[in-house]
Amino acid sequence: MEFIDIAIIGGGPAGLTAALYAARARAKTVVFESALPGGQIVTTDWVENYPGFPDGLSGAELGDLMHKQAERFGAEFRTFASVEKIEPLDLDFKLVADDEEFMARTVILATGAVPKKLGVPGEAEFTGRGVSWCATCDGALFRDKIVAVIGGGDAAIEEAIFLTKFASRVHIVHRRDELRATKCIQERCFDNDKIEMQWSRVVKEVKGENGKVSGIVLASTSGEPDLLLPLDGVFIFVGVDAKSELVTDLCDLDERGFVKIDHNGLTSYPGIYAAGDVTDSELKQVVTAAAKGASAAFEALRYLDSRLCSI
């Protein structure tokens, strides 16, 4: 069984920053990531609000830079390794990942969140056949086609703008009569003549023909009749669900399932820290994930030092 000082579960910006700080302090640090390091940021076309990059850079590039920096200081990576269980054993934690067991003195949970589903008829049936949650991944498949983006926050509007590189028309479907996105993003949206707004509407059903999406039925939130919108693709950005299943029985969660932390990243269970989108922190951005990852690593290191002093 391999022994680890700090086990970090999740390789997004929070996990990678925690790995950088922990490894730089010479703690034996292992990052468990079920996919490639970088997390959901690698599916982001362009990041323009991360400090130090005035011209912006792609999400994949930023994720790769973070990974290389953490690795340079000695962080180890178990890629495509899914942690299935965290079991407290005295003051330590046994982790089970792909039938292997690891013993960690502390754990930092940075598992992030996954996009919410609409839960409407046709959504599951046409997933991968016109229904998508990743414009960067699938946008090029809709060249010169008509698509819809569901949502009104920053992610939805940025993805809609990105899709105009390929699609001939992008409908933004939002349940309210105004967007929630940051004003500068809204300005870019309204200046784009390929984008058409569908205000005060929600998706009632995803329609399909010949095994692929052919349109969506939109219900009104303001008393108007239903509307059938013919199109070729639907991109859904209506929020996220926390990937907190590993600590459901260990740590306090809020009513939405996000892990409750203090301002240093400490959960309700001693020795377990959390950072990034899996936590109940309100602002979920790359820069805040990185900051919370640094705080969690700092506190985990201090926790390890306190244990050594008590021996």
193 is catalytic: no
Dmax (CA) of the chain: 71
Assign residue 10 a region: left if phi > 0, alpha if psi is -120 to 50, beta otherwise?
Answer: left
CB-count burial class (<10 Å; 0-12, 13-18, 19+) for 211 = exposed
Residue 7's pLDDT is 98
Tokens read off for 140: 């090029």
Given 45, 92, 134, 241, the catalytic residue: 134
Cβ contacts of 123-128, under 8 Å, gap ≥ 24: 123/206, 123/236, 125/206, 125/208, 126/206, 126/208, 126/212, 126/213, 126/234
Q: Confirm whether 251 is a catalytic residue.
A: no
The Cα 197–Cα 214 span in angstroms is 19
Choice among 5, 138, 154, 277 that is catalytic: 138
Out of 98, 137, 226, 254, pick the active-site residue: 137
Say whether pTM exceeds 0.85. Answer: no
pLDDT at 310: 62
Residue numbers in the chain where pLDDT is lower than 70: 310-311
pLDDT at position 45, please?
A: 79
Nearest CA-CA partner of 200 in 181, 182, 218? 218
pLDDT of residue 311: 57
